Amino acid sequence: MPGNPIDAAPAATTGPTRRRVGRPAQISRQAIAEAAQQVGLGNLTLKAVADQLGVSVAGLYHHIRGKEDLLRLAAEHTAATSEVPLDHGQHWAEWLAEWAVYNYDAFVSEPLLVDQFLAGAINTESIAGTTDAILGALVRQGFTIAEAHAAYQLTSSCALGSALKAIRQARARAAGRSEVAELYHVLDEHEPGDLPYLRQYLALMLTERPEGFTSALTTALSGIAVGRGESPDGIAPLVDGALADRRAAG
C-alpha cells in the first residue's frame, strides 16, 4: 500500500536530488523552439537562445546538435505555429490568394526560412494537414485533385519567387545599392542600342513602379480562371482584398 504523502514530504526536501536554489528549469526541444522564435531567425545564435532560456550554451547541446539543428527546429516551429488562412467558403481564387500572400509574408519577414525550406528543414509531416486543407477546399469547388495541386503549386511558386526578389532588393538597399542602379551600371557597359527591352523595363520602373507580387499573382490566378472557363475580370479585386486583409491582420 502506498505510503502517506505527508509522511513522504520530508524526504522530498532533504534527499540528495533536491534542486539547488537558482538552478534553471529543465529545458526541452519545444522550449528551445519557442525561445528561438522569440529571438527571431535573423538574430538566431546558440548564445541568444541560451540567454533567452536562462541556461548555458552547453546545456542546449543536450537537446540539439548545433546551429543547423537549431535553425531547422526554429523553422519547423515557426511553420507549425503561424496563423494560417482559414477556409470559410470563399471563392477559390480568394483562397489561393490568401495562401500566396501568407507564404510571401512568411518568407519576407523571416528570410532565413527560405534557406531552411530549400534544405528540406520544414518536414512533410508538419505541413501535411495544411496541404490537405488547401486541396480539399479547391476540390469542393470543382477542381480535380490534379488541378487543385497544380493551382496551389503555381501560386506558391509565384509567392516564393516574389519573396526571393523582395529579399534580394532589401539586402541590396541595406548595402547601399538598388536594382535600378545595378541595371543602369550594366547598360553603361553596353552600346546604346544593346539590350533594348531591358531599357524599356527600366523606363517602366522609373515611372510606374509596378508591384511585382500583386501583378504576378493576379496573372497566375487569371490564367487558372481562364483555364476553368471562368471570367478573369474579378480576380484583381480578390487579390487586392487578400493583400489588404493580411496587412490589416499583421
Q: Give the pLDDT score at 27.
A: 85
Least confident of 5-9, 120-124, 216-220: 5-9
HEC string for 34-64: HHHHHHCHHHCCHHHHHHHHCCCHHHHCCCC
Residue reference for cell 510606374: 208
Q: Give the pLDDT score at 20.
A: 41
For the chain, the structural domain boundaries read: 5-79, 86-249
Residue-averaged pLDDT of the chain: 80
Q: Give the pLDDT score at 231.
A: 94
Residue reference for cell 470559410: 88
pTM of the predicted model as reported, rounded to 2 decimal places: 0.68
Rg, the chain, Cα only: 25
Please tell me the distance from the alpha carbon of residue 165 to that of residue 67, in angstroms, as a whole number: 26
Q: Give the pLDDT score at 44.
A: 85
Q: Which residue has the higher pLDDT, 97 or 78?
A: 97
For 190, counting Cβ atoms within 10 Å of its Cβ (0-12 exposed, 13-18 middle, 19+ buried), the class is exposed
pLDDT digits (tens, 9 = 90+) for 178-230: 777 788 888 889 998 999 998 888 776 655 544 688 999 999 999 999 999 99
User: What is the number of other CB atoms lying within 10 angstroms of the CB of residue 153?
Assistant: 10
Residue reference for cell 510571401: 104
pLDDT digits (tens, 9 = 90+) for 14-41: 444 343 434 445 688 889 988 988 888 7
Angle at 197 between CA 192 and CA 199, to 5 degrees: 50
> Is the model's pLDDT at 163 over the cut of 70?
yes
By C-alpha distance, which of 166, 153, 70, 154 is closest to 109? Answer: 166
Q: Does domain 86-249 have CATH number 1.20.272?
A: no
The CA–CA distances, whole Å, from 5 to 11, 125, 145 equal 10, 43, 59
Least confident of 11-25, 68-82, 125-139, 141-155: 11-25
Give the right CATH number for 5-79 from 1.10.10.60, 3.30.43.10, 3.40.50.1010, 1.10.1200.10.
1.10.10.60
Q: Give the pLDDT score at 225.
A: 96
Q: Which residue has the higher pLDDT, 168 or 232?
A: 232
Average pLDDT over residues 46-63: 91
Q: Which letter does DSSP use for residue 43 in this model? A: G
pLDDT digits (tens, 9 = 90+) for 105-121: 888 888 877 777 777 66
**Helix H or strand E encompassing 97:** helix 92-109
pLDDT digits (tens, 9 = 90+) for 84-101: 788 888 999 999 999 999
Please tell me the distance from the alpha carbon of residue 219 to that of residue 226, in angstroms, as a whole number: 11
